[in-house]
Amino acid sequence: MQLTEHFTLDEFTRSTTASRLKIDNSVPDELMPNIQLTAIKLELVRQALGKPIVITSGYRCSELNKRVGGVSTSAHTKGLAVDFQSPYGTPRQICQRLIDAGVQFDKLIQEHNQWVHIGFSPSNNRQIVLTAVKQGGKTVYLNGLV
């Protein structure tokens, strides 16, 4: 199902973990407006970068979210967040570009300098920017881009 010009529902639900563990990661009907909102906002992200983006993790049902180690309150489970990469540059460069371009988001995280997490909200875009790093085997979130 095509959501926007550049994004499909399959991109939001595709998961090798779900396939391997035979988890049904279908989006419930009540969350489809969130998926649609996220796809529309991702078009703005793509426009700001001037390059394609590849969703590496989109919607996660609660079982999948638990299996990949996501927090129970993850915006992924509401269809309001994606992790992605882009040939635009490093995750830090991508985050900086989105900030400089004035892209509206709820939360933007440079994740371990490997991918970008971006979350949206239908009502409140807090513009929280974090950097996730490993310290002592645990993920720690630092304020801003580090």
**pTM higher than the cut 0.85:** yes
The answer as to whether 98 is a domain residue is yes
In a domain, 112, yes or no: yes
The per-residue pLDDT for range 95-131, each reduced to its tens digit, is 999 999 999 999 999 998 899 999 999 887 889 999 9
- pLDDT at residue 123, as a whole number: 84
Per-residue pLDDT band for 9 (boundaries 50, 70, 90) equals very high
Asked, for residue 76, whether it belongs to a domain, the answer is yes
Q: What are the tens digits of pLDDT across the range 66-96?
A: 999 999 999 999 999 999 999 999 999 999 9
Model pLDDT, residue 126: 84
Nearest in space to 77 (alpha carbons), one of 15, 6, 124: 15
- Percent with pLDDT over 90 in the chain: 92
- Residue range 54-59: average pLDDT? 96
Does some domain include residue 1?
A: no
Question: 111, 132 in Cβ contact below 8 A?
Answer: yes
Residue 122 lies inside a defined structural domain of this protein: yes
In a domain, 32, yes or no: yes
Average pLDDT over residues 18-40: 97
**Residue 81 within any structural domain of the chain:** yes
The domain containing residue 28 runs over which residues? 9-143
Q: Number of structural domains, the chain?
A: 1
- What CATH number has the domain bearing residue 99? 3.30.1380.10
Residue 114 lies in a domain: yes
Q: Provide long-range contacts, Cβ within 8 A and 24+ apart, for 5-12.
A: 5/43, 6/42, 6/43, 6/46, 6/52, 7/39, 7/42, 7/43, 7/55, 9/35, 11/55, 11/58, 12/38, 12/39, 12/55, 12/58, 12/59, 12/79, 12/82
Backbone angles phi, psi at 129, to 5 degrees: -120, 125
